[in-house]
Amino acid sequence: MYDCIIIGGGPAGLGAGLTLGRARRKVALFDDGTNRNRVTHESHGFITRDGIKPHEFKGIGLKELENYPNVSYFNKTIIEIGREGNEGNFIVRTRDNEEYVSEKLLLATGIQEMFTIESIRSFYGKSLFSCPYCDGWELRDKPLLILAEKEEHVLHMVKLIYNWSNDLMVLTNGKELSHEGMQELAKHNIEIKIEKIDELIGEAGYLKGVKLESGEIINRTQGFVAPTYYRPNYFAEKLGCEIDEKGRVMTDPRCRASQKNVYVAGETRKPIPSSLMIAAADGNKAAVSINTDLTEERF
């Protein structure tokens, strides 16, 4: 019987595990290694860890948890979460059919990308990126592609990324832009190709060019894309938690979901993708909330 089960060992889950461990709570943390940034070779912007490899970041986090024998880490996938009665303890089941029980539950399972062109995935994190704060510096002043289909995404990304490089070419994969949108890009000498994309050319994650339906090949090898996002599991829905129209799990400002003893941290509860630092801080916040509630309930 654990005080808290944490599902997810990204920065949110690890941050929560550390804080709850130090608060002497008995914690089980589950992670199956599908953290969103696993596809990239370097992470940036986390002060003291700028440029670290994602697996090293996770390795340091897990090593620090080893200092707290009351925290157990399991490299396992959770496939089901039930409750003893309506508001009772949580029973968490792993893919290999083990069951673990806890009083509190923290969902820190993150989000995942969806791409309208599936082959973008093979280049994501090495040649194509979504967050200029994470990877813009490394791409500064280079000729870049912007792959985005909706006009609002095109204009948002162009304006933002322009400060890192003003040599931009927009590919909309067959989606028209408004006259005003086209003018806005023309004003800044940004070329736009409305044509559908036939193929992304390259290997081992490194883009060599993009072939359009006409056969024209765009010889640009790096750039930014605008994915959409989804949560990879429906634990919160199944537990009866409120979800908003954007698909995020609704919480109060202290990370408490609408169902008793369910807490949420990291990108699972954010309206837009964030960063390692914001997710880690959110994990810390959720852990303080869980510990405060346990303290009040048990003192």
Ligand X SMILES: Cc1cc2nc3c(=O)[nH]c(=O)nc-3n(C[C@H](O)[C@H](O)[C@H](O)COP(=O)(O)OP(=O)(O)OC[C@H]3O[C@@H](n4cnc5c(N)ncnc54)[C@H](O)[C@@H]3O)c2cc1C
> Does 30 help bind ligand X (rule: CB under 6 A)?
yes
Q: Minimum Å distance from CB 268 to ligand X?
A: 6
> Does 10 help bind ligand X (rule: CB under 6 A)?
yes
Instruction: Out of 6, 21, 29, 31, point to the residue binding ligand X (CB under 6 A).
Output: 31
Q: Minimum Å distance from CB 74 to ligand X?
A: 8
Dist. CA 84–CA 130, nearest whole Å: 41
Residue whose beta carbon is closest to ligand X:
10
Measured in degrees and rounded to the nearest 5, phi and psi for residue 15 equal -60, -40
The answer to whether residues 265 and 279 touch, using CB atoms and an 8 Å cutoff, is: yes
Query: HSE on the CB side for 210, CA within 13 Å?
Result: 25
Q: Minimum Å distance from CB 5 to ligand X?
A: 11
The answer to whether residues 40 and 54 touch, using CB atoms and an 8 Å cutoff, is: yes
Determine the size of the site formed for ligand X (CB under 6 A): 41
> Does 267 help bind ligand X (rule: CB under 6 A)?
yes
Q: Minimum Å distance from CB 209 to ligand X?
A: 21
Decide whether 209 or 232 has the Cβ nearer to ligand X.
Answer: 232
Dist. CA 169–CA 146, nearest whole Å: 6
Instruction: Out of 28, 276, 287, 294, point to the residue binding ligand X (CB under 6 A).
Output: 276
Instruction: Out of 39, 117, 182, 194, point to the residue binding ligand X (CB under 6 A).
Output: 39
Residue with tokens 């199944």: 238
Binding part of the chain for ligand X, among 40-48, 59-67, 97-105, 202-210 by CB under 6 A, reads 40-48
Q: Token pair of 161, please? A: 């990324």
> Does 102 help bind ligand X (rule: CB under 6 A)?
no
> Does 3 help bind ligand X (rule: CB under 6 A)?
no
> Does 134 help bind ligand X (rule: CB under 6 A)?
yes
Torsion of CA 234, 240, 246, 251, to 10 degrees: -110
- C-alpha distances (whole Å) from 237 to each of 69, 111, 172, 249, 269 are 32, 15, 34, 8, 13
Dist. CA 127–CA 180, nearest whole Å: 30
38 contact partners, CB below 8 Å, separation of at least 6: 54, 55
Which spans of this chain sit near ligand X (rule: CB under 6 A)? Answer: 7-13, 30-37, 39-40, 43-46, 77-78, 108-110, 124-125, 129, 131, 134, 232-233, 266-267, 273-277, 279
